[in-house]
Amino acid sequence: MSSTPPPSPPGYLDAASGEPPHPLVRATWERTLAQGWADPARRYGAGRQARLLLDSAREAVAAALAVRPDEVVFTGSGTQAVHLGVSGLGLGRARVGRHTVTSAVEHSSVLHAVEHLGGERSLVAVDLVGRVDPEAFAAALRPDTALACLQSANHEVGTRQPVEPVAERCAALGVPLLVDAAQSVGRGPLPLGWSVLTASAHKWGGPPGVGVLAVRTGARWRSPSPVDEREAGRVPGPVNLPAVLAAATALQAVAADAARDDARLRVLTERIRSTVAATVPDVEVVGDPHDRLPHIVTFSCLYADGESLMDELDRAGFAVSSGSSCTSSTLEPSHVLVAMGVLSQGNVRVSLPRSVDEADVDRFLAELPAAVARVRARLGAEGL
């Protein structure tokens, strides 16, 4: 299944926070509302119809993840999938111990879930491009390690992680590995060897409010929720079937076009990387320049503030993100950039939607130097 997404909203360059809905989402949602409104657990005709639709969605997502359908369940969000994945592994391995191992650059949802488990935590350091060393990760594993977590690729700088070598080392010691694949699903083959994988539909152009939790057969996972017969007893309550089927349909479509989109977006992100470095003084482009996701570019500007830069670019018509937006409530830079040891001041993350208009990229690159200069001038840093 393949279709060309419509153009993204003008100036929208924050796909890592959420891809614009794929054009198949609305039609699938409306069709499912008409045909799949009944409880899939019921045996009468309308219930059986709903069950067929739910099964087809599960099979489509399982195929994209290269797993069995009975290993896939749907959650209310990617965050809920992470929380259930971490908590379930922690409960399933409680007799082993309470020690956990994660990279220092995991998404906050993973770090918060691990913290909530309690017990001792080990954070594995990363290099200057944000990647862990498999041997260092393995050295952090212990006999009482309940679980380990390693993202497929970093959500702020795009660097891919060595999941398969880490998974091999975890498997040798019997430690289950949870992989947060929110930014990678739908963008080509996924790494192998994990025990639990989580994802979020709105990252690939599905509707918000749909997460995916995949638990491999044999993983010692125990539900942290009260018993519920739905979703293999892993997620309480009924699924949002129209949203789930729309998410599965969108995933099929983007997966079919992944190679084409990868090639196109890499050309554009390489243009951004080189142009920003050449046109903005005192800037550091961060993340691996080669082994990275195709759609994410991150750079930091000295003598500037990330939140001010986002606001300045918003006034110019661009939606971007910042990993170091020091807000009045936190006053803390990005934990990812700090762990990498790179400049965290004045950080901007540009993440391109699959249907990005190349003219928007050109317009962004033309506007950026002046936007940075205006922010620096307001901060009294012009000419430093």
Q: Is 326 among the residues known to form the active site?
A: yes
Tokens encoding 140: 């952090």
CB atoms near residue 299 (< 10 Å): 24
The DSSP line for 214-238 is EE-TT-----SSPP-SGGGGTS-S-
Measured distance CA(23)–CA(3) in Å, rounded: 8
Q: Tell me the H-state helices in 6-133.
A: 23-35, 45-65, 78-92, 108-117
Measured distance CA(335)–CA(214) in Å, rounded: 27
Amino acid present at 61: V
Cα–Cα distances (Å) from 54 to 247, 254, 297, in that order, read 11, 20, 36
The DSSP line for 276-332 is HHHHSSSEEEES-SSSB-SSEEEEEETT--HHHHHHHHHHTT-B-B-TT---TTT--
Measured distance CA(227)–CA(273) in Å, rounded: 50
Q: What is residue 210's DSSP assignment?
A: -
Phi/psi of residue 76, each to 5°?
-80, -5
Cβ atoms of 37 and 188 closer than 8 Å: no
Tokens encoding 301: 């500007």
How far from the centroid of its chain's Cα atoms is residue 44's Cα? 38
Measured distance CA(166)–CA(144) in Å, rounded: 18
Strand ranges inside the chain, DSSP E? 72-75, 99-103, 121-124, 145-149, 177-180, 196-200, 211-215, 283-286, 296-301, 347-351
CA-closest candidate to residue 293, choices 270, 319, 323? 270
- Return the residue matching tokens 């498997």: 171
Instruction: Return the active site residues.
Output: 326
